[in-house]
Amino acid sequence: MSSPATRVEIVQSKLDNYLANAQTANYRLAQTDVLSPETSLTVEQAIRIFEDQVTSRLLDVAARELKKRNQGFYTISSAGHENNAILGTLLRLDDPCFLHYRAGAMIMARSRKLPGSNPIFDTLLSFCASSDDPISQGRHKVWGSYPLWIPPQTSTIASHLPKAAGLAFALRQARRLEREGKAPHLNDDSIVCCSFGDASANHATALAGINAARYTVRRGGAAPILFVCEDNGIGISVETPPNWIHDSFNNLPHLKYFEADGTLDEIWDVVEEAINTCRRLRTPVFLHLHVTRLWGHAGTDVETTYRTIEEIDAIESQDPLLLNAQRLVETGAAEPAELQRLIRGIDARIGELMEEAVQRPKLVTVEQVVAPLAQYDEESVRTTARLTAAPEARLKLFDNALPEQTTTATKRTMAAHINSALADEMLRFNEIIVFGEDVGKKGGVYYVTQGLQKRFGMARVFDTLLDETTILGVAQGAAIAGLLPIPEIQYLAYLHNALDQIRGEACSLSFFSSGQFTNPMVVRIAGLAYQKGFGGHFHNDNSIGALRDIPGLMLCTPSRGDDAAKLLRAAIAAARVCGRVVCFLEPIALYHEKDLYQEGDNKWLFDYPSPGAPGEMLLPGEVGIYHPEARDVLIVSYANGLRLSLRAARVLKEKFDIAARVLDLRWLNPLPFDSIKQHADECGRVLVADECRATGGGIADAVIASLAENGFRGIMNSIRAVDTYVPLGAAANLVLISEQQIIEAARNLISR
């Protein structure tokens, strides 16, 4: 291992050489003096910023040394970006921060505001993937801290911008909840900071976040967010065109633009003005911070494959540590020897703590790794789902006609049940907000949210712009602020436009923060197929594979109206109590369905389950069983497939004397494997009627695999939809599963 002195020389040979030969200024400024007459930056602040910058740089060196020793696992450095320490100094602890992965110096500066913090050791623990790392506990190297109000970000493609904008949008409501003791600490003038690179500024997700903030202000709202573009001019090896960031963002309506470059004090003044503008005007601000990138993209990046030695030398001459040291010395703020001692002291401390960090424990079991993914307390969820509002409040909400007492058939469809359940939940939990495209004034394209805005006001039920990425970003930001969002995605097919907001962001937050940060939400998704006389694949999407693939995601789907209300209560309770992300998949074709066996029989209308009554919620594992006495074959299905299976079961019994038990899964993630196995063993034959696409689109493969792997000795088969998009009109019947297919498949099982 290199000696500390050698490490400092490797870090900064130009800086070390400068300080060894620099002349002390003829005068010395006092700690309280400003660095120059034009700035508010004091000598004391400037020295501290430089110290934080040196700390970040030497931690980058430590990361690479640890990698060489096979004791560290992360080498993306902050080298060249250290002027973001100014942001860490000027922002307050009640200003939440969503940070770029080159935020080392900013973290060091922000940590000064929290007595007792140890950012050096915490960072070294994260380099070593130690389970003692206070934020991710060894799951990944992320910048994050609960006490510092920094939710950890993957941030590789600026996918955190929409949720940062969502938090800025939700700050006002979050303050209302905080006064009621239901939200994290914020102040009336808190702002959100969100940093990213110039390359990722081009990503559609980044542009969606910036657009959402501007749109909010255009609609008369507030969006106090500071977008910080740390522009180093390159994305791995692809150069950003000169002036691209300036030309792209300096003249957008409803976005204040600031550009920071130059000396330490000049940058300070611009950053200070940008923060104050955002705080005062409650409007989005774009801070274009010019930085440089030293040492390539990461430790594995061979920079000479795309840059010449001359280009690398020119970049190194713009090293902020060198320039800031020169500024401190030439202004009389510090002596060269003083800065040398500061560097040696930091280096010695990092060397000492590094040897301690490598000895700390690692994750060693599967249980440790996955612990934050699926936190679930069944008893607490059940207790919460039983809660109900005061009777007089419910009577007022429903205009003295409670939904469980109504006799009007149209009030008992699935759509009506979901509407009533949403109203009940919003009444008892005032942190719930409902939003999406068309959900407010119109009440949804299928009128499922009809009347909610009138009952609860535009602050709690509102329309969004037409962008699923923004909708899910708002949901995450609002949830982090203490609200309980219920966003609506208008069609399942549209979710894929923004799936990474669930996969890469929402469901990963608890994992990367060891459960310290969560973004509880219930995402309502209108989907699946079988719409009559309507559709095409964007409105009849029969694939849930992409959702079931997401670690930690809960997914449920009702088949009938009363179950919809019960499942929704459980979903909201799981989100509220356990911080879970729950997708509530609503079968569009069943929204207004009344009949089961024949037109006019009204057998698919159900009474509204009274909130608070025992059993009036459906938790994971609680399946629906029809014809429990039947033992010839078990038909496993869900959503539209349940109704088809019940129709098929009737024909099987009446025409072929085959007694079919039917199991409604209800929860598709987690799947109720234990219940399936129990009923499969009792029946001996299993048919899975999966309305989703055959190859990875649904649940049949998982159900059959589980039975096979857990000792089921009976006969199994499945029917699944064809691997195709759903066509328009009657042609859809050619590719979707049908009642007749279920009948034939069941008969074939019996004959084997």
CATH code (residue 719): 3.40.50.920
The pLDDT confidence band at residue 713, using thresholds 50, 70 and 90, is very high
The pLDDT confidence band at residue 183, using thresholds 50, 70 and 90, is low
Tens digits of per-residue pLDDT, 655-673?
A: 999 999 999 999 999 999 9
CA–CA dist 419, 430 (Å, integer): 16
Q: What is the largest CA-CA distance in the chain?
A: 106
* Residue 52 amino acid letter: D
Q: Is 243 exposed, middle or buried (0-12, 13-18, 19+ CB in 10 A)?
A: exposed
**If residue 204 lies in a helix (H) or strand (E), which one and from where to where?**
helix 204-218
How many angstroms separate the Cα of 645 from the Cα of each of 142, 204, 561, 642?
48, 43, 17, 5
Neighbouring CB atoms inside 10 A of 361's CB total 11
At which of 317, 343, 366 does a domain end?
A: 366
633: phi then psi, degrees, rounded to nearest 5: -155, 145
Local structure of residue 169 (DSSP, 8 states):
H
CA–CA dist 189, 275 (Å, integer): 11
Residue 446 lies in a domain: yes
Average confidence (pLDDT) over 584-599: 96
On whether the CB atoms of residues 52 and 85 are closer than 8 A, the answer is yes
Write out the two tokens for 406. Answer: 């109504």
- Please check the confidence at residue 87 and state whether its pLDDT lies above 80: yes
Q: In terms of domains, do 523 and 641 share one?
A: no
Q: What is the dihedral of CA 334, 338, 339, 341, to 10 degrees?
A: -170
Q: In terms of domains, do 279 and 241 share one?
A: yes
The stretches of 22-135 forming alpha helices (DSSP H) are: 43-68, 85-90, 104-111, 119-127
Q: In terms of domains, do 419 and 270 share one?
A: no
Average confidence (pLDDT) over 474-502: 95
Q: In terms of domains, do 57 and 161 share one?
A: yes
Residue-number span of the structural domain to which 27 is assigned: 4-366
- Please check the confidence at residue 9 and state whether its pLDDT lies above 80: no
Residue 595 lies in a domain: no
On whether the CB atoms of residues 236 and 200 are closer than 8 A, the answer is no
Our count of domains for the chain comes to 3
Residue 420 lies in a domain: yes
Name 115's Cβ contacts closer than 8 Å, sequence gap at least 6.
none
Average confidence (pLDDT) over 689-703: 94
Average confidence (pLDDT) over 411-420: 91
What pairs with residue 436 in β-bridges? Answer: 463, 488
Q: In terms of domains, do 333 and 390 share one?
A: no
On whether the CB atoms of residues 268 and 320 are closer than 8 A, the answer is no
Write out the two tokens for 223. Answer: 């969006």
- Please check the confidence at residue 3 and state whether its pLDDT lies above 50: no
**If residue 228 lies in a helix (H) or strand (E), which one and from where to where?**
strand 225-231
On whether the CB atoms of residues 543 and 697 are closer than 8 A, the answer is yes
Q: Is 90 helix (H, G, I), strand (E, B) or coil?
A: helix
pLDDT at 615: 82
CA–CA dist 401, 406 (Å, integer): 7
pLDDT at 1: 37
Name 434's Cβ contacts closer than 8 Å, sequence gap at least 6.
422, 426, 449, 452, 456, 460, 461, 462, 486, 487, 488
Average confidence (pLDDT) over 82-111: 97
Q: In terms of domains, do 460 and 343 share one?
A: no
Q: Which residue, chain included where needed, has tokens 């009446």?
A: 654
CA–CA dist 234, 578 (Å, integer): 41
The pLDDT confidence band at residue 288, using thresholds 50, 70 and 90, is very high
At which of 334, 366, 398 does a domain end?
A: 366
Q: In terms of domains, do 152 and 72 share one?
A: yes
On whether the CB atoms of residues 206 and 467 are closer than 8 A, the answer is no
Q: Which residue, chain included where needed, has tokens 């938790």?
A: 619
CATH number of the domain residue 488 falls in:
3.40.50.970
DSSP string, 383-394: HHHH----HHHH
Average confidence (pLDDT) over 496-513: 95
Tens digits of per-residue pLDDT, 714-742?
A: 999 999 999 999 888 888 889 999 999 99
Write out the two tokens for 155. Answer: 């941030």
Q: How many CA atoms lie within 13 A of 505 on its CB side?
A: 30
CA–CA dist 587, 605 (Å, integer): 15
pLDDT at 535: 62
Q: Which residue, chain included where needed, has tokens 């390539």?
A: 296
On whether the CB atoms of residues 698 and 527 are closer than 8 A, the answer is no
On whether the CB atoms of residues 230 and 198 are closer than 8 A, the answer is yes
The pLDDT confidence band at residue 2, using thresholds 50, 70 and 90, is very low
- 488 CA to centre of own chain: 16
Residue 619 lies in a domain: no
Higher pLDDT, 478 or 154: 478
Local structure of residue 686 (DSSP, 8 states):
E
On whether the CB atoms of residues 98 and 195 are closer than 8 A, the answer is yes
Q: In terms of domains, do 195 and 230 share one?
A: yes
Helix 336-357 and helix 320-330: axis angle, to 10°? 140
Neighbouring CB atoms inside 10 A of 185's CB total 10
Average pLDDT, the chain: 93
User: Would the CA dihedral through 310, 315, 321, 326 be positive or negative?
Assistant: positive
Tens digits of per-residue pLDDT, 17-48?
A: 899 899 888 889 999 999 999 999 999 999 99
CA–CA dist 74, 135 (Å, integer): 16
- 414-423: b or e for each residue (b if 16 or more CB lie within 10 Å)? bbbbbbbbbb
CA–CA dist 375, 365 (Å, integer): 17
Name the pairing type of β-strands 285-290 and 225-231: parallel
Average confidence (pLDDT) over 687-713: 95
Q: Which residue, chain included where needed, has tokens 């695999």?
A: 705
Residue 614 lies in a domain: no
- Please check the confidence at residue 549 and state whether its pLDDT lies above 90: yes
pLDDT at 630: 97
Name 182's Cβ contacts closer than 8 Å, sequence gap at least 6.
431, 482
What pairs with residue 287 in β-bridges? Answer: 228, 258
pLDDT at 531: 87
Residue 159 lies in a domain: yes
Q: In terms of domains, do 300 and 421 share one?
A: no
Name the pairing type of β-strands 432-436 and 461-463: parallel
- Please check the confidence at residue 612 and state whether its pLDDT lies above 80: yes
Rounded to two decimals, what is the model's pTM?
0.94
Q: In terms of domains, do 544 and 668 share one?
A: no
Residue 428 lies in a domain: yes
Residue 341 lies in a domain: yes
Q: In terms of domains, do 445 and 548 share one?
A: yes
Q: Which residue, chain included where needed, has tokens 């909010």?
A: 216
At which of 310, 335, 366 does a domain end?
A: 366
The pLDDT confidence band at residue 173, using thresholds 50, 70 and 90, is confident
Share above pLDDT 90 across residues of the chain, in percent, rounded to a whole number? 86
On whether the CB atoms of residues 505 and 461 are closer than 8 A, the answer is no
- Please check the confidence at residue 409 and state whether its pLDDT lies above 50: no
Which range, of 64-78, 144-158, 485-499, averages the lowest pLDDT?
144-158
On whether the CB atoms of residues 712 and 681 are closer than 8 A, the answer is yes
Q: In terms of domains, do 316 and 424 share one?
A: no
CA–CA dist 438, 436 (Å, integer): 6
Name 356's Cβ contacts closer than 8 Å, sequence gap at least 6.
121, 124
Average confidence (pLDDT) over 244-253: 97
- Please check the confidence at residue 327 and state whether its pLDDT lies above 90: yes
